[in-house]
Structure 1
Amino acid sequence: MDNHKQLWARSKFSTTSKCDYVTNNIVETFNGWIREEKSLPVLDLMDKIRQLIMERFCTRRQLASKLSGFKVLPHVMKELHNKSRNLKYTIHRSGPMVGEVGGVNKDLVPWRFIVDLEKKECTCRGWQLTGLPCVHAIAYIGTRRVELKDFVDPYYSVEMFKAAYATVVAPMPGKEEWEKVDIGFTLLPPKCNRAAGRPRKRRLVGAEEDGSSNRGREGVKGVVDLATSRKPAMKLS
């Protein structure tokens, strides 16, 4: 708020979440996941979400059973090995596990960071934020006789993956077999006037998502389709 209200730097945020980006992708993904079910009544919607989660947990548990022998998730190690290629940095050791890693950027401006393998920290804060060794730490780890996987946060471990999906979502019978419960009162639906026409299913697109131009193109397309669909008038002889 003191520097720029619209430009945020992930490096200034908490290191607890172990994530290097700030987006609403999970919201968009969930919205697309239940796109066909969003118009259902509340009970049917919640039951469908339960079924989707039940199937997802089952699939992830089956995947986790195939990861025996791995300490860190394979796709995480693949990403780290890709980052370790062609790292041409200068390294100066202060101790067995602490040192300086330096280089120059694309504008030939020199830079230098301190890497501490014991604390799993780098002054660029990339390691602390993501839980994954940054390129500076990877370069320093490459000079030591140690394993790269030993410096990855437990968040990315196979054991953590298994623990995340260990819970089994129990199946449920149909609504006709649910137990009838007397809650002591009658809950009536709210009074509302339904708008004319078919209910909207697609969400409103914000202006920051180029929504205005999309609406404009859709409007023009609708006029063109309407005009081309009209039959020509009959000529009277």
Structure 2
Amino acid sequence: IVPSNNYVYSVHHEGRTYIVCLENKTCTCKRFQLDEIPCSHAWAVLKKKHLDVGPYCSDMYKPSNLLDTYKIRITPLPDQNEWNVPGYINDDIVRPPKYKKLPGRPSKKYRDKAYIELYGKKSKNSCSTCGFKGHNRRSCRNGPRIV
């Protein structure tokens, strides 16, 4: 952790450098902004400066707001026969999936097929000694090629 000024720090973590600004509550990893709680880099800066983490967390994580979430009464649904469902939703037919996933480990044949579809077939090795495909120089049984 290297300070730039009172609020901006550069944190070196796993070979990368992250810039943490405590004043704006930002970090270049973007977790501080997205989650609105200090990311691991900001946490390290706060611990080094012996600062409380509370002011750097969003109000939505505070216990009072959690309790406020459940203040609203939730009315239970009536019996399913009494539901008022629009006709266009009742007309939709939801079919099960076309393929059934079998229990257990998938066979190698299907795993290889999916791999080939994604990455294409691998090209065969060519031997630098004889020039034929399908093996390499170490396992070559042919003589050297004549040029």
TM (norm. structure 2) is 0.51
Alignment of 1:213 onto 2:118:
no
**CA-CA distance at 1:206 after TM superposition:** 7.9
Count of residues in correspondence between the two structures = 93
Instruction: Determine the structure 2 residue equivalent to 1:147.
Output: 52
Instruction: Determine the structure 2 residue equivalent to 1:134.
Output: 39
Query: Which secondary structure state, in structure 1, belongs to the residue aligned with residue 68 of structure 2?
Result: helix
Identity of aligned residues (%): 26
Alpha carbons of structure 1 residues 170 and 126: separation in structure 2 relative to 1, 3 Å: closer
Gaps of 5+ in 2: 80-86, 104-147
* TM alignment of 1:1-237, pairs within 5 A: 91-103=1-13, 105=14, 110-169=15-74, 204=96, 211-214=100-103
Alpha carbons of structure 1 residues 206 and 167: separation in structure 2 relative to 1, 3 Å: farther
Q: Supply the distance in 1 between the matched residues of 2:102 and 2:76 (Cα, whole angstroms).
A: 45
Q: Supply the distance in 1 between the matched residues of 2:77 and 2:97 (Cα, whole angstroms).
A: 36
Alpha carbons of structure 1 residues 206 and 156: separation in structure 2 relative to 1, 3 Å: farther
**CA-CA distance at 1:119 after TM superposition:** 0.9
TM (norm. structure 1) is 0.33
Query: Which secondary structure state, in structure 2, belongs to the residue aligned with residue 161 of structure 1?
Result: helix
Structure that is richer in helix per residue? 1
Q: Supply the distance in 1 between the matched residues of 2:45 and 2:68 (Cα, whole angstroms).
A: 32
Give the residue type in structure 2 aligned to 1:120: K
Q: Supply the distance in 2 between the matched residues of 1:156 and 1:112 (Cα, whole angstroms).
A: 28
* 1:177-225 deviations in Å (ceiling 9; x for gaps): xxxxxxxxxx9xx89xxxxxxxxxxx94686xxx4224xxxxxxxxxxx
Gaps of 5+ in 1: 1-90, 175-186, 192-202, 215-237
Q: Which runs of 4+ in 1 moved over 3 A?
A: 169-174, 203-207
Alpha carbons of structure 1 residues 172 and 126: separation in structure 2 relative to 1, 3 Å: closer
Q: CA RMSD in A?
A: 3.3
| Greater relative CO (CA pairs within 8 A, separation 6+) | 1
Query: Which secondary structure state, in structure 2, belongs to the residue aligned with residue 155 of structure 1?
Result: helix
Q: Supply the distance in 1 between the matched residues of 2:98 and 2:62 (Cα, whole angstroms).
A: 38
**CA-CA distance at 1:123 after TM superposition:** 0.4
* Higher Rg of the two aligned structures: 2
